[in-house]
Chains A and B, each alone.
Chain A
Amino acid sequence: GESVGLHLPTLSVQEGDNSIINCAYSNSASDYFIWYKQESGKGPQFIIDIRSNMDKRQGQRVTVLLNKTVKHLSLQIAATQPGDSAVYFCAEIKAGTALIFGKGTTLSVSS
């Protein structure tokens, strides 16, 4: 079946490093992608989104890259901080359906 998945279940980085979290999707019909951050005991929180007609989008300390050729999505976090420790999910939307989530990557930031 078609699904959104992440390459690594866990990622450990040092404070101040840049983090890259990857996601592969299989449905070329998806036209909208979102990255969510979920802290322990809380609901998923919107970080950044990108439409399929774009390759890159930047936010505050975060950048999302979309490579439609290989169906790959990545989230880059600059100067990672301890407060960035959380589970990160990529999600895709196919027209007319609800958001479909990948399995999540747990980011651990050590001081």
Chain B
Amino acid sequence: DTAVSQTPKYLVTQMGNDKSIKCEQNLGHDTMYWYKQDSKKFLKIMFSYNNKELIINETVPNRFSPKSPDKAHLNLHINSLELGDSAVYFCASSPGYTGNTIYFGEGSWLTVV
């Protein structure tokens, strides 16, 4: 059983399109995250939700909109995709929102052409 699963794993799309990445965790965790990893492998937090409530929203263009229908799911919707959005997006979860180990999914490779 995959603890944190995200789909799709690979996504190639054209500039200007709108796309979504879905994430589900079966660990019973209260907190979920989206991280972005750039071409230099740098991992940066984008969003964090705790019990469906947004608690961290880093400086991210408002074209990115997370949605958490329940605490086991955190989806990422991206509007008007740009070339610079190409990256690997990781979903993650943790038992709480501070001082806990974070468990990551396998990543979604987004390529904007």
Count contacts on B: residues with CB < 8 A to the other chain: 23
- In the bound complex, CA of A100 to CA of B58 (Å): 12
A44→B33 CA distance, assembly (Å):
13
CB–CB B42/A34 < 8 A: no
Q: Are A99 and B45 in contact (CB under 8 A)?
A: yes
Please determine whether A99 and B102 come into contact, CB atoms closer than 8 angstroms: yes
Q: Which residues of A contact B45 (CB under 8 A)?
A: 98-100
Shortest CB distance A106–B (Å): 8
Q: Are A97 and B90 in contact (CB under 8 A)?
A: no
Residue contact B33 to A43, C-beta cutoff 8 Å: no
Contact A98-B33, Cβ < 8 Å, known A46-B101, A89-B43, A104-B41: yes
Q: Is the CB of B101 within 8 A of A101?
A: no
Q: Which residues of chain B are near A83, meaning CB under 8 Å? A: none
Please, which residues of chain B bring their CB within 8 A of the CB of A99? 33, 45, 102
Q: Which residues of B contact A43 (CB under 8 A)?
A: 4, 90, 92, 104-107
Q: Are B106 and A42 in contact (CB under 8 A)?
A: yes
Give the bracket for the number of chain A residues in contact with chain B.
Answer: 20 to 34
- B98 and A87 form a contact (CB under 8 A): no
Contact A44 B42 (CB under 8 A): no
Q: Encode B87-109 as 1/0 by CB contact (under 8 A) with A.
A: 00010100001111111111100
Shortest distance between the CB of B43 and any CB in chain A (Å) = 4
Nearest CB of chain A from residue B1's CB, rounded to whole Å:
15
Cβ–Cβ < 8 Å partners of B102 in chain A = 34, 46, 98-99
Given contacts A87-B41, A93-B98, contact A98 B105 (CB under 8 A): no
Asked if B44 is an interface residue, CB under 8 A from chain A, the answer is: yes
**Chain B contacts for A44, CB-based, 8 A:** 43, 90, 104
Please name 8 pairs of A and B residues whose Cβ atoms are closer than 8 Å in the assembled complex, sorted by A.
A42-B106, A44-B43, A89-B43, A95-B99, A96-B98, A100-B45, A103-B42, A104-B42
B residues with a Cβ closer than 8 A to A are 4, 33, 40-45, 48, 56, 90, 92, 97-107
